[in-house]
Amino acid sequence: MIILGIETSCDETSVSIIKASSDRIEVLSNIVSSQIKLHSEWGGVVPNLAAREHLKNISPVLKRALTCSKKNIKDIDLISVTKGPGLMPALLIGTSFAKTISYIWEKPLIGIHHIEGHIYANFIDSKLSARSLTKKNTVTIYKGRGSRIKFPILCLVVSGGHTQLILMKDHLQYKIIGETQDDAAGEAFDKVARILGLGYPGGPAISAEAEKSNRQISDLPLRQDSGEASKIQISLPRPMINSGDFNFSFSGLKTAVLYKTKKMSLSQISNLKSQICREFQQAVIDVLICKTVNAAEKYNPETIILAGGVSANKELRKQMDSAIKDNLPHSKFKIPNSEFSLDNAAMIAAASYFRWKNMSEKQKKDSLKNWKTLQTEAGLKLS
Ligand code: KG4
Ligand code: ZN
Q: CATH number for the domain including 197? A: 3.30.420.40
Q: Is 84 in the pocket of ligand 1 (CB under 6 A)?
A: no
Regarding whether 114 and 25 lie in a shared domain, the answer is yes
DSSP one-letter code for 277: H
From its phi and psi, is residue 240 left (phi > 0), alpha (psi between -120 and 50) or beta? left
Q: Are 237 and 256 in contact (CB under 8 A)?
A: yes
d(CA 318, CA 146): 23
d(CA 39, CA 193): 14
pTM for the full model? 0.92
Report pLDDT for 55. 98
Q: How far is the CA of 42 from the centre of ligand 2 (A)?
A: 20
**200: in domain:** yes
Q: Of the candidates 339, 311, 353, which has an alpha carbon nearest to the alpha carbon of residue 5? A: 353
Report pLDDT for 130. 41
**238: in domain:** yes
Q: Which of 49-63, 121-135, 246-260, 296-310 has the lowest mean pLDDT?
A: 121-135
Report pLDDT for 117. 98
Q: Is 202 in the pocket of ligand 1 (CB under 6 A)?
A: yes
CA atoms within 13 A on the CB side of 48: 0
Q: How far is the CA of 260 from the centre of ligand 2 (A)?
A: 30
Span 349-356, average pLDDT: 98
The secondary structure of 186-203 as a DSSP string is HHHHHHHHHHTT--SSHH
Q: Of the candidates 83, 79, 69, which has an alpha carbon nearest to the alpha carbon of residue 113? A: 83
d(CA 367, CA 283): 45
The one-letter amino acid code at 9 reads: S
pLDDT tens sequence across 220-269: 444 444 555 556 789 999 999 999 999 999 999 999 999 999 999 999 99
Domain extent for 100: 2-149+338-373
Number of domains in the chain: 2
Three-state secondary structure call for residue 210 = helix
Report pLDDT for 233. 86
Residue nearest to atom 16 of ligand 1 (CA): 309
Regarding whether 137 and 166 lie in a shared domain, the answer is no
Q: Are 229 and 268 in contact (CB under 8 A)?
A: yes
Regarding whether 212 and 120 lie in a shared domain, the answer is no
Contacts of 262 (CB under 8 A, 6+ apart): none
d(CA 70, CA 16): 12
Regarding whether 292 and 158 lie in a shared domain, the answer is yes
State the pLDDT confidence band at 218, using cuts at 50, 70 and 90. Answer: low
Nearest ligand 1 atom to the CA of 343 is: 3
Report pLDDT for 360. 98
d(CA 365, CA 354): 16
Backbone phi, psi, residue 133, to 5°: -90, 125
**327: in domain:** no
**333: in domain:** no
Regarding whether 80 and 186 lie in a shared domain, the answer is no
Q: Is 10 in the pocket of ligand 1 (CB under 6 A)?
A: yes
Backbone phi, psi, residue 172, to 5°: 65, 10
pLDDT score of 93 more than 70:
yes
Q: Of the candidates 310, 377, 352, which has an alpha carbon nearest to the alpha carbon of residue 161? A: 310
Q: Is 161 in the pocket of ligand 1 (CB under 6 A)?
A: yes
**306: in domain:** no
Residue nearest to atom 13 of ligand 1 (CA): 203
Nearest ligand 1 atom to the CA of 200 is: 14
